[in-house]
């Protein structure tokens, strides 16, 4: 972790609750630390939390996405749609699964693909075999609408819910709408373990394929083989990965999950406080509030209005100098040299809104340990910086970027 000067407000802080520390020590002293009964218990708690029939614990959300796509048994090299404004690892997972990513432009206000940009990507690049839908920042993505725009059934949709534990679509938690849903327990995510992931599904056949896939394709978990009366024998029926979660991580996760509802309330209250302080200033565009469902507020992403003549990089530099951490989510996938080569000029085209909003977005500190006074200081510092900039009356670069229009 970066050492911060006193008075500095870091972008992210990992809060591991005391109960998780105790539970971790118990596992370390138990004589069994890798995948075992603790993982099973965490899977049960997690499945119940998102109202899913099955949960399969894995080593990361990246592995969860790769495994989910492998489990769909698509022809090698098939096209898979995903957002151009997502984490590079989530697109790497498509490549690892032997498939071909097709990037979709975003809506300038939600910063996620919408039905229009999805249909445009299909018109430009042809019918895709599957789609990875990301709930950017914790907003509920319109999964059904996007699937229809892509001409796909929900059985060919994988949700990237790395930001979306705690997100509800209209009437249910994210976790059961599509073939599978993939969660992350990375250090900065809403349920931090440090590393880890989870796949949820209501499809029993998919779950049965995914369970052995996370551990070399072996038909029987190692710990069951070592139980009294257990047999040393196992078979490998299908190709597998080494992507299991350990009992140590699961113990931390179970304890953290008990704190999670209170943490989410705190995040929502901090997000409200940001919006109240920042939304009145026309130099900034604050995140939209979903019309239905629940926002998990993993990230609080503001945009510098295109009429405000200051670049995002300068804003972040000045925030940093003032002791306020900030970040950018994300560097567009097609700006990375590896993906530029992989996608080629055609695959990198038609992503104009992503290119425009990338220059304007910044993520402000947001985590349950943040205080109201710290949010007030972040807002005052940011407003000072943008108010020092000239505001032009020329039309905005993108007509859709008219403040307040969704």
The contact set with ligand PLP (CB under 6 A) reads: 60-62, 86-87, 89-90, 134, 160, 162-163, 184, 186, 197
Number of Cβ within 10 Å of residue 208's Cβ equals 13
- CB-based contact 192:171 (threshold 8 Å): no
Rounded to 5 degrees, what angle do the CA atoms 109, 111, 114 make? 90
- CB-based contact 356:84 (threshold 8 Å): no
- In the complex with ligand PLP, which residue's Cβ is closer, 9 or 64? 64
Calpha distance 249→233 (Å, rounded): 27
Number of Cβ within 10 Å of residue 395's Cβ equals 11
- Which residue(s) pair with 294 in the sheet? 168
Which of 220, 213, 196 shows the shortest CA–CA distance to 73? 213
- In the complex with ligand PLP, which residue's Cβ is closer, 159 or 281? 159
Number of Cβ within 10 Å of residue 362's Cβ equals 20
- In the complex with ligand PLP, which residue's Cβ is closer, 61 or 81? 61
Structure tokens at 272: 């409200």
Q: Provide the minimum distance between the beta carbon of 111 and ligand PLP in the complex, in angstroms, as a whole number.
A: 11
Find where tokens 């919408």 sit.
114
3-state secondary structure of 308: strand
Q: Provide the minimum distance between the beta carbon of 67 and ligand PLP in the complex, in angstroms, as a whole number.
A: 12
- In the complex with ligand PLP, which residue's Cβ is closer, 290 or 306? 290
Q: Provide the minimum distance between the beta carbon of 182 and ligand PLP in the complex, in angstroms, as a whole number.
A: 8
Pairing of strands 100-104, 79-83: parallel
Calpha distance 72→61 (Å, rounded): 17
- The catalytic residues are 189
Q: Provide the minimum distance between the beta carbon of 132 and ligand PLP in the complex, in angstroms, as a whole number.
A: 9
Q: Provide the minimum distance between the beta carbon of 405 and ligand PLP in the complex, in angstroms, as a whole number.
A: 25
């Amino acid at each position: 972790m970066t050492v911060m000067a006193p008075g500095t407000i870091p972008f992210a802080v990992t809060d591991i609750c005391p109960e998780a520390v105790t539970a971790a020590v118990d596992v370390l002293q138990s004589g069994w630390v890798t995948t075992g009964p603790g993982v099973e218990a965490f899977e049960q708690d997690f499945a119940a939390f998102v109202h899913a029939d099955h949960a399969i614990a894995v080593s990361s959300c990246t592995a969860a996405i790769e495994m989910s796509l492998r489990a769909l048994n698509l022809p090698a090299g098939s096209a898979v749609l995903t957002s151009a404004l997502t984490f590079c690892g989530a697109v790497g997972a498509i490549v690892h699964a032997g498939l071909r990513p097709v990037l979709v432009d975003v809506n300038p206000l939600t910063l996620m693909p919408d039905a229009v940009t999805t249909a445009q990507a299909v018109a430009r690049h042809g019918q895709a075999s599957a789609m990875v839908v990301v709930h950017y920042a914790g907003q509920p993505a319109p999964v059904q609408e996007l699937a229809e725009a892509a001409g796909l059934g929900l059985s060919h949709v994988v949700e990237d819910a790395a930001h979306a534990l705690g997100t509800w679509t209209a009437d249910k938690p994210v976790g059961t709408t599509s073939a599978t849903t993939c969660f992350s327990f990375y250090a900065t995510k809403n349920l931090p373990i440090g590393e880890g992931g989870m796949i949820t599904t209501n499809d029993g056949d998919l779950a049965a394929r995914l369970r052995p896939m996370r551990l070399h394709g072996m038909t029987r978990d190692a710990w069951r083989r070592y139980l009294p009366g257990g047999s040393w024998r196992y078979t490998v029926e299908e190709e597998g990965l080494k992507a299991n979660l350990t009992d140590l991580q699961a113990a931390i996760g179970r304890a953290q999950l008990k704190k999670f509802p209170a943490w989410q309330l705190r995040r929502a209250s901090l997000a409200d406080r940001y919006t109240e302080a920042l939304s009145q200033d026309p130099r900034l565009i604050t995140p939209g509030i979903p019309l239905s469902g629940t926002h998990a507020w993993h990230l609080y992403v503001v945009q510098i209005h295109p009429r405000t003549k200051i670049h995002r990089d300068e804003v972040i530099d000045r925030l940093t100098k003032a002791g306020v951490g900030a970040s950018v989510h994300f560097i567009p996938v097609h700006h990375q040299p590896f993906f530029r080569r992989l996608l080629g000029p055609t695959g990198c085209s038609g992503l104009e809104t992503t290119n425009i909003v990338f220059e304007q977005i910044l993520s402000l500190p947001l985590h349950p340990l943040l205080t109201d006074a710290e949010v007030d200081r972040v807002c005052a510092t940011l407003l000072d910086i943008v108010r020092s900039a000239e505001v032009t009356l020329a039309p905005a670069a993108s007509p859709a970027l008219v403040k307040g229009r969704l």
